[in-house]
Amino acid sequence: MARPSAPHRASVLIIAGGRGTRFWPASRESNPKPLFSIDGKTSLLADTIARHSPLIPRERIFVLAAQAHEAPFRRALRGLIPAQNLIVEPLARGTAVAIAYGAAVIRRRLGDGVIASVAADHHIVTGEQYRRTLADAIGLAAAQDSIVAIGIPPTRPETGYGYQKIGAKVGAGFRIEKFVEKPPLAIARRMLKSGRYLWNASMFVASTQTLASEFAAHSPLLGIAAEKLARTPRTKLARAYGRLRYDSFDRVIMEKSTNVLTVRARFTWHDVGSWDGLWDAVGDASGNVIRGNAIALESERVLAHSDSRLMVLFGVRDLIVVDTGDAILIAHRERSPYVGRVTEELKRRGLERYL
């Protein structure tokens, strides 16, 4: 079987700006979520970089990370991509700013071409199918002068994801008729049954010229600012960056544009957005996820993660127990999406050393 090819001078921008508060206590300021390991061997970020090879050369893979996390990211990226391909964002300003700035930096470094913007913390084990899907998206973006999203065929009526409603066939993809953000369960069930909706995984592919045109049409000040920021010395970048106030790329560009397409993913995808996401990604026959020095006896649907001390879960169910040595989290599985509240409470109590 022939390998997919990536024409049109394609590059990848891996967005790794978030800390991942819903993964506390494993995710900290000094160890943000993209550096978390699902298998105990390689990090989510390293996996993200690896699955683009050989479709995209390593010298055309860029990672955008927050300045607060620069040191751990530089250590983690050593030997994976060129050191200068770490783009440091001085302040978190949402994905619209991150993509606009990252694309402007790549364009300044490499010239015009197609850029795929992807998240650093998705779990995808079917690498060859991923590369084939991405190659389709790259080709479609170049041929149609459009922004192409990658849509995930839904496997359940999920209320925590956004959706794309697909329309007419266009080349290897479809026109996106509309976006639906986190629908109620009854509506999600109808959408799933219709077969006309895909999960929106926030993976976007577009040429630098298309991105420039879309920003000019829907957020011209951001487009102009991003080009200026790409030429701004780092010593002056934080002040200019701090003045930017924009929403997500979906809201700023995708939901306003009439020039958006999607390709249907051929790969298995998991959004590891919280501890609960690990169950979907790697749970065993009992629904358990066991990592590190941990044992589960007569227990079901538990997540046990211990960095050092022996942890034994006996006769329990639907629990998350995470021990990182200096902090222990015990939570019901249903509360997994809200673990970020713990970090808010720690901050309120002045316990920043645990963040």
**What do you get for the CA distance between the two ends of the chain, in Å?**
48
Q: What is the CA radius of gyration of the chain?
A: 20
134-158: average pLDDT: 95
**Chain centre distance of CA 200:** 11
165-176: average pLDDT: 96
43-58: average pLDDT: 95
pLDDT band at 9 (very low <50, low <70, confident <90, very high): confident
Tokens 């109590």 correspond to what residue? Answer: 349
How far is 310 from 293, CA to CA, in rounded Å? 5
25-37: average pLDDT: 85
Is residue 83 pLDDT above 90, yes or no? Answer: yes
Q: What structural domains does the chain harbor?
A: 11-271 (3.90.550.10), 275-354 (no CATH)
325-341: average pLDDT: 91
Is residue 340 pLDDT above 60, yes or no? Answer: yes
- 91 is written with which tokens? 């302040």
280-292: average pLDDT: 80
332-338: average pLDDT: 89
Is residue 118 pLDDT above 70, yes or no? Answer: yes
Is residue 3 pLDDT above 60, yes or no? Answer: no
Is residue 15 pLDDT above 60, yes or no? Answer: yes
- 194 is written with which tokens? 């219709």
- State the DSSP code for 172: T
φ/ψ region of 256 (left if φ > 0, alpha if ψ in -120 to 50, else beta) reads alpha
**Chain centre distance of CA 268:** 15
List the one residue out of 5, 4, 1, 8 whose CA is nearest residue 210. 8
pLDDT at residue number 1: 46
Percent of the chain with pLDDT over 90: 73
Rounded to 5 degrees, φ, ψ at 276 are -60, -30
pLDDT band at 38 (very low <50, low <70, confident <90, very high): confident
Strand partners, 162: 181
pLDDT at residue number 5: 55
How far is 29 from 20, CA to CA, in rounded Å? 9
- 322 is written with which tokens? 């995470």
How far is 151 from 148, CA to CA, in rounded Å? 9
How far is 307 from 281, CA to CA, in rounded Å? 20
More confident residue, 325 or 279: 325
Is residue 223 pLDDT above 70, yes or no? Answer: yes
For residue 270, CA distances in Å to 14, 35, 235, 307 come to: 16, 16, 38, 24
Quote the strand ranges of 146-234, DSSP E.
147-152, 162-170, 173-181, 197-207
pLDDT band at 6 (very low <50, low <70, confident <90, very high): low
Strand partners, 292: 306
pLDDT band at 349 (very low <50, low <70, confident <90, very high): very high
142-171: average pLDDT: 94
Is residue 249 pLDDT above 70, yes or no? Answer: yes
